């Protein structure tokens, strides 16, 4: 198996020499560049799994370099290694380069190697996800071609169409599973949270008498609604205490990041839009856009309620669970303000009539 390639770009030669020393015995190959333009040229000749760029460089900033990498080589995982802790630089790297990890100088040897290994795993997940997406696209095209002659060959083609539909469903499920695994490798608490939100969202959808097809779309969206948190450092997600303004801004980016990852995948449901809107609120004071009321997809309004109830019902590394009673009190007190009243009513009915089990939630 070919060794993964990692590029480091920094205008300080001593930094690059230290990186070569630190990584000389690792399972991946490291190439260093003082000039980001030469690094871009090098990426044209081989597949690069990870790039790590400094922010302040004379030719172009790290944010500008990572943005070019994102556009030209989207499969390459992007990270920033910099002593520049200003919020504008961090947000620029997040928004332009969609970085996977921000590492502040000075960084310990083990921390740096751990971040690189994590990024390499992310690269392989992206490649696998692309393969599954392409498989889904090809099967969609095949299914459309079959349907053109459906009226003439109904009896002959029925069995083959059903087989293709089954394969398409398997491919979609595989795509969702691969995406969910992406989150699980970063943060097992988030992964368990998504599974339980999907379960509660489905129960709410059934209580509201939504169609099985719409309910299935809600289940899949709930299973990956926090996908964008793969771009938020795990130490921020699980850190106890109050978040800084920079850390809060990083977390608030995750619906946009999730949308960007999912928007080009051909799902039968508006999965990307649901993920994008799941932190919007009825009074228009949610994020990332501030959509009000009926402008928010019903599916997103359902996941929003399930998200809050699950989060308050489960323990996290940084705090004990407030409990299900306080969670239900929260959504009840804020119906028609933050949460859809019909969705709240359905959720309260589910717990009042014990239509869902809390097994595995308190942990």
* Active-site hit among 96, 229, 285, 355: 229
Q: By the 8 A CB rule, do 229 and 187 touch?
A: yes
Asked whether residue 180 carries a pLDDT value surpassing 80, the answer given is no
Percentage of residues in the chain with pLDDT exceeding 70?
81
For residue 362, the model assigns a pLDDT of 46
Angle at 285 between CA 279 and CA 288, to 5 degrees: 45
Separation between Cα atoms, residue 213 and residue 18, nearest integer Å:
55
- Cα 348 to Cα 14, 119, 193, 341, 355: the distances in Å are 61, 41, 19, 10, 10
Q: Phi, psi at residue 229, to the nearest 5°? A: -70, -5
Q: Please give the structure tokens belonging to residue 152.
A: 């003439």
For residue 289, the model assigns a pLDDT of 93
Q: By the 8 A CB rule, do 87 and 59 touch?
A: no
For 44-97, what is each residue's pLDDT tens digit?
999 999 999 998 888 898 889 999 999 999 999 999 887 755 666 666 667 666
- Between residues 43 and 241, which one has the greater pLDDT? 43
- Between residues 206 and 188, which one has the greater pLDDT? 206
For 86-143, what is each residue's pLDDT tens digit?
666 666 667 666 788 888 778 888 888 998 999 999 999 988 888 888 888 888 888 7
Q: By the 8 A CB rule, do 103 and 84 touch?
A: no
For 301-328, what is each residue's pLDDT tens digit?
999 999 999 988 876 655 666 778 899 9
Q: How crowded is the C-beta side of 191, counted as CA atoms within 13 Å?
A: 15
229 in active site: yes
Predicted model pTM: 0.55
Give the chain's domains with CATH numbers. 5-121 (3.40.50.2300), 187-363 (1.10.3210.10)
Q: Residue 235 contacts by C-beta under 8 Å, 6 or more apart in sequence?
A: none
Average pLDDT over residues 177-184: 68
Asked whether residue 363 carries a pLDDT value surpassing 50, the answer given is no
Q: Which of these ranges, 256-260, 311-315, 357-361, has the smallest mean pLDDT?
A: 357-361
């Amino acid at each position: 198996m070919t060794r993964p390639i990692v590029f480091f770009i920094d205008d300080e030669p001593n930094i690059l020499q230290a990186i070569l020393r630190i990584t000389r015995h690792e399972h991946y190959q490291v190439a260093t560049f003082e000039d980001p333009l030469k690094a871009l040229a090098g990426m044209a000749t081989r597949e690069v799994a990870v790039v790590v760029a400094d922010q302040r460089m004379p030719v172009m900033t790290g944010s500008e370099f990572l943005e070019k990498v994102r556009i030209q080589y989207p499969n390459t995982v992007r990270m920033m290694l910099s002593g520049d802790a200003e919020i504008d630089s961090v947000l620029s790297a997040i928004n332009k380069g969609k970085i996977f990890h921000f590492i502040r100088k000075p960084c310990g040897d083990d921390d740096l190697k751990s971040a690189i290994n994590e990024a390499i795993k992310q690269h392989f997940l992206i490649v696998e996800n692309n393969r599954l997406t392409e498989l889904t696209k090809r099967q969609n095209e095949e299914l459309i071609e079959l349907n053109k002659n459906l009226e003439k060959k109904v009896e002959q083609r029925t069995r083959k169409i059903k087989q293709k539909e089954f394969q398409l469903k398997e491919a979609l499920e595989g795509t969702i599973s691969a995406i969910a695994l992406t989150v699980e490798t970063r943060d097992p608490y988030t992964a368990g949270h998504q599974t339980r939100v999907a379960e509660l969202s489905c129960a709410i959808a059934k209580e509201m008498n939504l169609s099985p097809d719409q309910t299935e779309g809600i289940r899949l969206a709930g299973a990956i609604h926090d996908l964008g948190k793969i771009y938020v450092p795990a130490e921020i997600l699980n850190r106890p205490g109050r978040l800084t303004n920079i850390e809060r801004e990083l977390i608030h980016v995750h619906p946009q990041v999730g949308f960007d990852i999912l928007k080009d995948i051909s799902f039968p449901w508006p999965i990307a839009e649901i993920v994008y809107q799941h932190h919007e609120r009825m009074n228009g004071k949610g994020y990332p856009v501030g959509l009000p009321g009926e402008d928010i997809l019903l599916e997103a309004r359902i996941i929003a309620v399930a998200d809050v109830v699950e989060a308050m019902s489960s323990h996290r590394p940084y705090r004990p669970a407030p409990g299900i009673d306080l969670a239900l009190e929260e959504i009840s007190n804020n119906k028609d303000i933050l949460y859809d009243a019909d969705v709240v009513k359905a959720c309260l009915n589910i717990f009042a009539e014990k239509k869902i089990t809390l097994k595995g939630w308190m942990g």
